[in-house]
Amino acid sequence: MKKNILMVFGIGDTFCDINSPRCIKRGKTGPDLAKHIEKIVKSDKHDYDGYVFIHEPQDTISTINVLGDIEPSKVVDVKLCSSSVFDMNNQIMITDIIEGAVVLDGNQFDHVLRPEDYNLFVAGIDINGVFNTFVKEASVLGYSVTIYSDIIKPFSKDTINNIITAVKDRNKDVVFRKS
């Protein structure tokens, strides 16, 4: 049986702290998204076996930390330095209970979380349009991807159109639904 991973994109101080100059304040606001995702993480309704926190390298979680008290060994931290989650220029950090932190290149993502073992659930902010490439690449790698339509902030209308196209093209691999 596959395990479920919640992929949290861009939910940190940069886009979600009301005091940040880059805080998203139109449409689905950054603070509202952070609150909604935090509720999902804390609720018993969803059963996630782990979390992937994807953010820009300069983003912090000192004010906004939706993963809260989740044990560090259940969280994979990804510093997004390119337009693809699976790019080698990104940095993946895995915290091991015994050894401490292990840092890998972004192209090792599908070796850490193997497509045959995990379903991916997407929530958060579409950092510079990364959802477009993520959905396509994850699907090609063999992941089952569910995008929570009510808790994402798309970069542009193209993001939504491209996701809908991906759903139509690979309807068994990509699902677009509410949380």
Per-residue DSSP letter, 140:
H
Contact 30, 12 (CB under 8 A): no
The HSE-up count of residue 144 (CA atoms within 13 Å, CB side) is 10
The pTM score is: 0.89
Burial class (CB in 10 A: 0-12, 13-18, 19+), 85: buried
Sign of CA dihedral 44, 45, 46, 51: negative
pLDDT in tens, 108-145: 999 999 999 999 999 999 888 888 888 889 988 999 88
Domains and CATH numbers, the chain: 3-177 (3.40.50.850)
Q: If residue 33 lies in a helix (H) or strand (E), which one and from where to where? A: helix 30-42
Beta bridge partners of 54: 9, 78
> Cβ of 101: how many Cβ atoms within 10 Å?
10
* Residue in 31, 14, 18 with CA at minimum distance from that of residue 151: 31
Q: For 19-78, what is each residue's pLDDT tens digit?
A: 999 999 987 888 999 999 999 888 877 789 999 999 999 888 888 989 888 888 899 999
